[in-house]
Amino acid sequence: MKNATPLSSDATTTPKIRQKEVSTSIKAILRSQKGETKGVYIRLIINREYEYFSTGYFVLPEDFHRKEGYVKKSDPNKEAINSAIIDLKKEMNDVLYNLNPHCS
């Protein structure tokens, strides 16, 4: 058997409490289908658990930039939809920050 070495030779050392790291992601996606259009949702992931929030808007899949998560210029309601996406993402970021202000 190997000799166990003490973690610290100083008896006054207190153990460090490690905060649990929280992994989060917020992204606009297309989800449900209504005819030819799909619903614009905000996907919130916290530690691999998913939650979806509807923006209330529907767009054609070709009018949505999947990688960047916004509505393209080809959609006539792009300003309103993109504004709703930005507002929901900002609100979610604010809530997450208030839940854990030590994360950046």
Please check whether residue 18 lies inside any domain of the structure. Answer: no
The vertex-63 CA angle with 60 and 65, nearest 5°, equals 125
Please check whether residue 14 lies inside any domain of the structure. Answer: no
- pLDDT for 80 equals 97
- pLDDT for 79 equals 97
Please check whether residue 3 lies inside any domain of the structure. Answer: no
Please check whether residue 19 lies inside any domain of the structure. Answer: no
- pLDDT for 88 equals 95
Please give the full DSSP string across 39-75, using - where no structure is assigned. Answer: EEEEEEEETTEEEEEEEEEEE-GGGEETTTTEE-TTS
Give the CA count within 13 Å in the CB-facing half-sphere of 59: 29
User: In the predicted model, what is the mean pLDDT of the chain?
Assistant: 85
Domain count, the chain: 1
Please check whether residue 51 lies inside any domain of the structure. Answer: yes
- pLDDT for 21 equals 74
56-83 pLDDT, tens digit per residue, is 999 999 999 999 999 999 999 999 999 9
Please check whether residue 48 lies inside any domain of the structure. Answer: yes
Q: What is the mean pLDDT of residues 44-63?
A: 94
Residue 63 sits in which domain range?
Answer: 24-99
